[in-house]
Structures are given as C-alpha cells and as structure tokens.
C-alpha cells in the first residue's frame, strides 16, 4: 500500500526525481534575479536606458515576486499546487523569451514583471510539492538540500550572468535562464504526477489583502527611488501613502477570518525578533554583489564575467559555514551563533565599503566577501532553529513562510537602498554612466562622488547588519538537543502552511 504524507496526499514512489525537477526551476528563478546584477551595466548601456528604467528593470521582477509569494501561497490551496507550479514555470519561460527579444527598456520592464509573476508561483509551490511528495523520514533531508539549491542558484547567478553577458551580450543571461526553464518545465511535466498537490482548501482568497500588500511594496520602492529630476516632496508623498496603506493592510488583515498575512505571529516577541533578524540579514547583505558590480565595471571597466567571479567568495563562505553550523548549533546557543554570524556580516559589509575608497586590493575584497558568506551561513541554521523551537508545531509552516517572505522583502529593500543612494549628487549623464559601466564618461568630481555614494551605501547596509547583532542577542534562550535533526528549513521556501 502506498504511503501518504501528513497532509493526506499520496507520496511519490521516486521523490528524489520530483526534487531534481523542482530544483532546476528554483535555480532558474534565482539566477534570473541575481544574475542581472552584473549584466545590468551592459544592458543599460546597450538599451540606452534611463536611470529610472534601469532601476525598474532590476526591481520590477523583485517587487512582483515578493508581493505575489503570499498571494500564490494562498491561491495554491484553492486551485492546487501542481497546476499553479506548472503554470508559473510556463509563464516564467515565456517571459524569459520575451526578455531576449526586447528592443527597448520599456518592453524589457514589462517582460521582467511577467517573469516575476511566474517566478513567484514557482518559489511558492516548490517546497509545498516536496512536502507532499516525501515521506516524513526523508522530508527534513529534502528540505535541507532544497535550501542549499536555492542558495546556490542565488549565489551562482552573478557568475552565470557575467559569463553569458561576456559571450553574447546582456541577452545571454536570459538565454541561459530560458534554457534552464525549459528543462525545468519538461522535467516537471514528466515527473510530478497529478496526484501530488491536489489537496484544496475551501478558504476564501483574500483579494483585498493581496492588492494592499502589492501596493505597499510598490510604494516603498517608489519612495526610495523617485527618479532623477523628481520634486523634493515626491518621495515623502510616496512614504505617506505607504504608511496609510500599511495601516489599512493591518486593519484589514486583523478582521479577516482567513487573512493573507497571519499577524498573530508577531504577538510573540521571540518570533518577531527572529523574523526581524532574517529581514535585516537579507537587507544588509543581498545588494553587496550589486555594489561590487557597479564599482568594478563603472570605475575599473572590468568585464561582466570578472565582476561575477569577484563575488564567488560569498558562495564559498556560505557553503562552508552552513555545513559547520549544523554541528555547531547543538553545542553553542543558537542566539550566540546567529549573533556571531551577524558580526561577521557587519565586518564584511563595512570592510567592502572601506575598500572601495582605495584602488581596491582584490585579496582584501575577497576576504571581506568571504566573511559575508560565512556570516550568512552561520546565521541561517541557528535562526531557523530558534524559530522552530519558539513556534507551536502546528504553526511552523506558517512561520517559516513568513520568514521566507521577509527574506524576499529584505532582498528588495537592499537593492532599493543601493539604487537610491548611487545617483545622489550626480547629473543625468553621470547617472547613466554609473549604471552603464562607462568609466570614461565621468569627470573627476563625479567619479569621486560616485565612489563615495557606493561607500555610503555599504555603510548603510553595514549599520543595518549591526542592528541585527543586537536583535540576535535578544533571541529566546534555546539550546538544540544533540540528537535533534538540525537540517535547515529552506531560507527561500514557500510562504504558507503548506511549506
């Protein structure tokens, strides 16, 4: 007799095949997101994109993906996970093809937004499908590997983007993504049976909450990146609108019987601290690759491929530290280990910022990037452990989903902060040169201002990381038992009960 999962779904006889298929889709999604950081200067220059257009080519994908993760998480319970996952892959694949044939910045922005819609459906349902597919004794191992694959996709994105851009131009990134997405779509159609993810909920879909959440994220980005030549009052107006929307969102969610966002989680101080620390970690570290890419391409004229390679120490540090953290978390208090990771993040981000003011010694830069990767790896497992030990067992999926959502919000805010600071004090031509990687277009004063802005962006991110240290030290006191399975819950998992 076939096994069934804890949610009642029929388990797959070959679950690792499903894992392999969904992993390919996850890699495509995160390469499309992080790979653009090194392809952006070439793309901006060849499409003659304005600074505002360049910003939305980068952020449009992230805004839509972040906003729709919770939406699709709830929608999957209504229409089924497999149909929504496959639909997301198909939309993502078609949008990647549209990115390749884009002839203008405006067209590419639309294609990227559509790509983000598909990506949200993929990310939301990935872990839910694994939960429905794997038996309990293998699920923890599968989720741990899923976290590794997601992190790997995000980290190798700049390398893939740099290499593809160096070979055939900025469209090379989307050619690579399209190839991966096609493989993911075909393999998923073949190995994910119709019986997986068919459990459906009769809970109503919170359309009002979905619209308010999407509006809030969009307004926040507009407040941070109003565009050159905008009136001084415009960012403040966006901020005021954002506050109003946030208040309305909270009121609406508290009154819903089946809300999109479970605000009761934040009533627990321990849960709130862990979620805040995850948000701060993502905000402080994600856009460091963008800072490095803009610096080396606009200041040194470095190729996109080399720019991508320069951030690989982050990957090395993350893999090494995450492997060690699973062992360390049973011997060191999780909050101490998480705070140690934040200390390394702070030192690494501030170190990168300081190096930018000099000629940029490559070994020193690599050391600081390695520290950032090590800090991320040390933070991930203990913070997950504290969250899982603090949250009641029946609400762990919801809590992990909220953390995943805030992780994506942090990635978005990190990028928005950098692109908001970079153009300060620069003329329109200098801004275009900064995003387009054209060192010859700077005069001496603009060059110094551009480097100062990148340095300031790094200091701001470092300060947020320093706040994270204090937050981690306030975590609830928990000690992981040495016999407990400490495989990490996915940092980039789905965002709801089914995670």
State the 10-residue block means of pLDDT for the chain, 499 residues long. Answer: 46 78 91 88 87 86 84 75 90 96 94 94 81 74 70 82 89 95 94 66 73 85 72 83 92 84 82 90 91 82 80 84 78 86 95 75 80 89 74 64 81 89 82 71 79 92 96 76 44 36
Sign of CA dihedral 341, 343, 346, 350: negative
Orientation of helix 207-224 relative to helix 234-255, angle to 10°: 160
Q: Which of 463, 460, 430, 435 minimizes the C-alpha distance to 448?
A: 430
Give CA 229 to chain center in angstroms: 30
Cα separation, 254 vs 82, whole angstroms: 30
Q: Which of 97, 93, 99 minimizes the C-alpha distance to 39?
A: 99
Give CA 448 to chain center in angstroms: 31
Dihedral angle computed from the Cα positions of residues 459, 464, 467 and 469, in that order, rounded to the nearest 10 degrees:
-90
Q: Between 3.90.1150.10, 1.20.1070.10, 2.130.10.10, 1.20.1250.20, what CATH number should domain 15-206+256-473 receive?
A: 1.20.1250.20
Check residue 6 and give its pLDDT: 44
Tell me if the pTM is above 0.85. no
Q: Which of 363, 376, 300 minimizes the C-alpha distance to 337?
A: 376
Cα separation, 305 vs 471, whole angstroms: 37
Check residue 462 and give its pLDDT: 96
Check residue 444 and give its pLDDT: 76
Check residue 271 and give its pLDDT: 85
Tell me how long the chain is: 499
Domain boundaries, the chain: 15-206+256-473
Q: Which of 24, 178, 196 minimizes the C-alpha distance to 111?
A: 178
Check residue 44 and give its pLDDT: 87
Check residue 107 and give its pLDDT: 95
Check residue 214 and give its pLDDT: 82
Check residue 397 and give its pLDDT: 57
For 319, counting Cβ atoms within 10 Å of its Cβ (0-12 exposed, 13-18 middle, 19+ buried), the class is middle
Q: Which of 372, 374, 402, 400 minimizes the C-alpha distance to 385?
A: 400
């Amino acid at each position: 007799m076939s096994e069934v999962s804890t949610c009642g779904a029929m388990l797959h006889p070959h679950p690792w095949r499903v894992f392999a298929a969904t992993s390919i889709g996850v890699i495509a999604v995160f390469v499309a997101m992080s790979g653009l950081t090194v392809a952006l200067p070439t793309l901006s220059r060849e499409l003659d994109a304005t600074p505002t257009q360049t910003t939305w080519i980068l952020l449009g994908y992230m805004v839509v993906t972040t906003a729709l993760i919770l939406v699709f998480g709830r929608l999957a319970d209504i229409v089924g996970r497999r149909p929504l996952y496959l639909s997301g892959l198909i939309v993502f694949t078609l949008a990647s093809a549209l990115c390749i044939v884009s002839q203008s910045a405006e067209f590419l922005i639309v294609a990227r937004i559509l790509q983000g819609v598909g990506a949200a459906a993929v990310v939301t349902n990935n872990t839910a499908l694994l939960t429905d597919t794997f038996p309990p004794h293998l699920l923890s191992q599968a989720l741990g590997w899923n976290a590794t694959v997601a992190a790997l996709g995000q980290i190798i994105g700049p390398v893939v983007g740099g290499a593809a851009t160096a070979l055939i131009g900025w469209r090379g990134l989307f050619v690579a993504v399209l190839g991966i997405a096609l493989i993911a779509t075909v393999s998923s159609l073949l190995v994910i049976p119709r019986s997986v993810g068919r459990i459906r909920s009769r809970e109503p879909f919170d359309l009002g909450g979905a619209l308010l959440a999407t509006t809030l994220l969009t307004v926040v980005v507009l407040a941070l990146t109003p565009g050159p030549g905008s009136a001084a009052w415009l960012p403040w107006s966006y901020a005021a609108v954002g506050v109003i929307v946030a208040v309305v969102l909270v009121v609406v969610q508290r009154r819903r019987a089946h809300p999109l966002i479970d605000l009761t989680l934040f009533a627990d101080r321990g849960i709130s601290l862990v979620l805040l620390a995850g948000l701060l970690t993502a905000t402080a570290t994600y856009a460091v690759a963008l800072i490095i890419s803009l610096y080396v391409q606009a200041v040194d004229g470095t190729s996109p491929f080399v720019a991508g390679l320069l951030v690989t120490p982050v990957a090395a540090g993350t893999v090494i530290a995450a492997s060690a953290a699973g062992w360390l978390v049973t011997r060191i208090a999780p909050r101490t280990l998480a705070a140690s990771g934040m200390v390394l993040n702070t030192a690494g981000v501030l170190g990168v910022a300081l190096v930018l003011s000099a000629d940029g010694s490559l070994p020193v830069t690599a050391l600081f990037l390695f520290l950032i990767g090590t800090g991320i790896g040390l933070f991930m497992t203990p913070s997950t452990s504290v969250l899982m030990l603090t949250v009641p067992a029946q609400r762990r999926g919801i809590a992990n989903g909220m953390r995943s959502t805030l992780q994506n919000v942090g990635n978005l805010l990190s990028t928005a902060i950098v692109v908001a600071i970079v153009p300060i004090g620069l003329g329109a031509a200098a801004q275009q040169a900064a995003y387009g990687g054209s060192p010859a277009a700077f005069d001496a004063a603009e060059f110094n201002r551009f480097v100062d802005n990148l340095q300031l962006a790094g200091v701001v991110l470092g300060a947020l990381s320093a706040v994270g240290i204090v937050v981690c030290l306030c975590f609830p006191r928990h000690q992981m038992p040495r016999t407990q399975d400490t495989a990490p819950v996915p940092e980039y998992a789905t965002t709801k009960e089914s995670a």
